[in-house]
Amino acid sequence: METLPFLTEEQVQRIQREFGTPLFVYDQATLECQARKVLSFPNAYGLTARYAMKACPTAAIIQVLTRAGLHIDASSGFEAERAMKAGVPGDRILITAQESPRNLADLLEHGVLFNACSPHQLRVYGQLRPNSDASVRINPGLGSGHSNRTNVGGRSSSFGIWHEHLDDVFDVAAEFGLRITRMHTHIGSGADPKVWNRCARMSLDIAARLPDVHTLSLGGGFKVGRMAGETDADLQDIGAVIKDDFQTFAEEHGRRLHLEIEPGTFLTANAAVLVCSVVDVVDTGRRGHRFIKVDTGMTEVTRPAMYGAQHPIVVVPVMPGDRGTRQFLVAGHCCESGDLLTPEPGDPERLRPREVTEPRVGDPVVIGGVGAYCAAMCTKNYNSFPEAAELLLRTDGAFHLIRERQTLDQIVANERPL
């Protein structure tokens, strides 16, 4: 059975009473602890650590992490603007996007850095900033991830300039007088450390062909353990090997490269839980399943339905007493057969019941490991369910509402009926 990570049962019950459910709760202490781990990543000649804000772009979370010393990795012009609205200076933001922002000229005026992910994007940048320094994202030819949907390197990925097409980079750079001083690669999320290190070496080999590069950004996620028995990636072990590789590169090429990394999940995944409530308990007969129905689902946590991802689930009894435990599936509130929070690991088409405390209608339920790609990546407003509220547990022990619950009027505000 799973246990509560940073809240007590009394706090969970209080949250349910005072704020209602569903509700994301973030822990400031965990965010700051993870930030310190990232900022201590071994490096040979300097480090910039960027928070991949797509993991969780709420302003308060951005503020906690940037105040801890992190810069921002944005995946769109909109994310860059959102970060600036949260108080992040433009020169601490790097955009790496599938499309060139329509307001790129304005963002560049604010000091935002732009990472060109194709020859076309590099040409767009060159037209706006001829005779300047530029940054490119290269697909090194290898990727990693727990599924094809999280792998953003290799031949099956459209992300970045294919490593065999560097001549196109040189041609565009020459056309606009650009000096390629930054190079970025990204291999995916949930990366195996051995693959991560191998991709780092491949990236260094490519950087050797770009003589003006002084900064190498090694994008890619570091594994975190959400479930009991799972462990986090050891950043010190991963970084030690990369540090040696950078030193070897300096000896061979006479360039001391500055290192950038851009974790998202590692910083936020286990810094949040989702507090929801049991709304029904049903079964499908003697040979069927027992179900807990809750007032959340893919509208807040899409990862189980999309990837077969696993999240800890804890039932917190409202009334004291020993109820015992039983096997249950947990069903979301959407009118969608795939809205189940207990799939088979890695296979959203199959089911895996969980051993939990015997539930009763009204009991709060805590879903763990939801700080990354949950509030940020969900089927928001499906079945017209409002966006959940968000709460921050501050280091002084106080709860602070950082996002109010959406109303139905807000959902339909932009509609224009006939």
pLDDT above 50: residue 144? no
pTM for the whole thing? 0.94
Distance CA 322, CA 52 (A): 43
pLDDT above 90: residue 157? no
pLDDT above 90: residue 1? no
Question: Quick one: 75 and 223 in the same domain?
Answer: yes
Last residue of one domain, picked from the residues 263, 296, 325: 263
Instruction: Please check whether residue 59 is in contact with residue 72, taking contact to mean a CB–CB distance below 8 angstroms.
Output: no
Which pLDDT score, from 0 to 100, does residue 414 have? Answer: 97
pLDDT above 50: residue 153? no
Question: Quick one: 144 and 289 in the same domain?
Answer: no
- Beta bridge partner(s), residue 73: 52, 94
pLDDT band, residue 193 (cuts 50/70/90): low
Distance CA 53, CA 68 (A): 14
Q: Please name the residue ranges forming H helices in 182-333.
A: 193-207, 235-253, 265-268, 303-307
Kindly state whether residue 216 falls inside one of the protein's structural domains. yes
Distance CA 149, CA 367 (A): 23
Burial class (CB in 10 A: 0-12, 13-18, 19+), 252: exposed
Average pLDDT on 148-166 reads 64
pLDDT band, residue 61 (cuts 50/70/90): very high
Question: Quick one: 118 and 227 in the same domain?
Answer: yes
Kindly state whether residue 3 falls inside one of the protein's structural domains. no
Q: What is the CATH number of the domain that holds 248?
A: 3.20.20.10
Range of the domain at 382: 9-22+269-404
Question: Quick one: 71 and 90 in the same domain?
Answer: yes
Q: What is the mean pLDDT of the chain?
A: 93
Last residue of one domain, picked from the residues 241, 263, 285: 263
Average pLDDT on 231-258 reads 93
Which pLDDT score, from 0 to 100, does residue 151 have? Answer: 39
Any idea which residues carry the catalytic annotation?
335
Q: Is 56 helix (H, G, I), strand (E, B) or coil?
A: coil
Kindly state whether residue 99 falls inside one of the protein's structural domains. yes
Total structural domains within the chain: 2
In tens, the pLDDT along 231-240 reads 888 899 889 9
Question: Quick one: 318 and 229 in the same domain?
Answer: no
pLDDT band, residue 146 (cuts 50/70/90): very low
State phi, psi for 163 to the nearest 5 degrees.
-60, -20
Instruction: Please check whether residue 353 is in contact with residue 327, taking contact to mean a CB–CB distance below 8 angstroms.
Output: yes
Give which of 262, 267, 274, 261 is closest to 303, Cα–Cα: 274
Sign of CA dihedral 364, 370, 376, 379: negative
Question: Encoding tokens for residue 297?
Answer: 């689902």
In tens, the pLDDT along 354-412 reads 999 999 999 999 999 999 999 999 999 999 999 999 999 999 999 999 999 999 999 99
Last residue of one domain, picked from the residues 263, 294, 312: 263
